[in-house]
Structure 1
């Protein structure tokens, strides 16, 4: 889906499809260098990381394994509740594995902090984070992100896997969602 397909739903495009693919290629070269000769497991966090995970995995030039995990801390709102639930756990044993968590976006960091602790408790050799987007102004906990694509402002963004009410995930770029879409009464929210 292109921005013209949702005319009026976005206030601006923050990151183009071309910029995303260029940055994922750069990140992939660094991942390949860092994990040369190692058995790497990519763990995608559903649903938002689907696009990032697919394009990152295709960009890597050596074999990797992939698994998926779904966790939720949002409930029905647009801000994190801080209470994390596992909706789908991994199928892979992490003992002795090099794990790279692949995320679409890091905002408060609360869910990811919990996920790091959970995965580290499973006996991996290493656990690192790769995130396409990061909102430094929204951070509530310090998260060490080894591979970060773009730092963005604390605005409600959609596209490239990010959604609002399960819509806009298939937008090829990342854009700022117009407030009238998610807060018709004039309230504010952050993704």
Structure 2
């Protein structure tokens, strides 16, 4: 898999340091509360696991699966909700945990959905922010790293369900994800 990576953008040490900082900040800002961390599957799984171990206050977790990418390298713009929450969010504080905010399509959909379900507050904690690709006017409240407009994989992020298990975040070589018609 390493041969498919053009460049390691964020190594294990940088990820661990920043996740610890985010956990400390969330712990401080939500002291005395019991927020629900909601991981957006599948990409946020590793990030959420590491983040919640750095949070020192009571909290709950849940997951949902939503995507606008499918197996493509480009967002379709249409958000698909494949599985939903197992908890009632009415009157609760939610922290959506995302692997990356890119176009903002998924995030906009989820923010509107949780507001309609009666959540008191919905904040967003995203490991990565790719502001240059934004199609929707959404902002993450907690951001791990600003990254360039490159296709990244690793630490939970994938291309066609591969590369999630890389312990770092790397830029995938273009020839791996670019469509080439058969001759």
- Class of the TM-score when normalised by the shorter of the 2 chains: over 0.9
* Residue 75 (structure 1) shift: 3.4
Aligned twin of 1:79? 74
Aligned twin of 1:117? 112
CA displacement 1:36-68 (0-9 Å, x = unmatched): 101110000000000010000011112210000
**Which stretches in structure 1 are left out of the alignment for 5+ residues?**
1-5, 187-191
Task: Answer yes or no: is the 8 Å Cα contact 2:71–2:161 preserved in 1.
Answer: no
Aligned twin of 2:149? 154
Counterpart Cα distance in 1 of 2:124 and 2:2: 34
The verdict on how the C-alpha distance between 1:184 and 1:87 changes in structure 2, with shifts beyond 3 A counting, is: closer
TM-score normalised by L of structure 1: 0.91
* Residue 79 (structure 1) shift: 1.1
* Residue 184 (structure 1) shift: 6.1
Aligned twin of 1:40? 35
For 1:8, what is the secondary structure of its paired residue? Answer: helix
Within 5 Å, which residues of 2 pair with 1:1-191? 6-183=1-178, 185=180
Counterpart Cα distance in 1 of 2:73 and 2:6: 18
Task: Answer yes or no: is the 8 Å Cα contact 2:34–2:57 preserved in 1.
Answer: no
Counterpart Cα distance in 2 of 1:100 and 1:14: 26
* Residue 80 (structure 1) shift: 1.1
CA RMSD across the alignment: 1.3
CA displacement 1:10-33 (0-9 Å, x = unmatched): 110000111011001111111011
For 2:123, what is the secondary structure of its paired residue? Answer: strand
Aligned twin of 1:3? none
CA displacement 1:129-167 (0-9 Å, x = unmatched): 000001011111121211000000011100000001111
**Which stretches in structure 2 are left out of the alignment for 5+ residues?**
none
Q: Matched residue pairs, number?
A: 181
Counterpart Cα distance in 1 of 2:67 and 2:134: 17
TM-score normalised by L of structure 2: 0.95
For 2:78, what is the secondary structure of its paired residue? Answer: coil
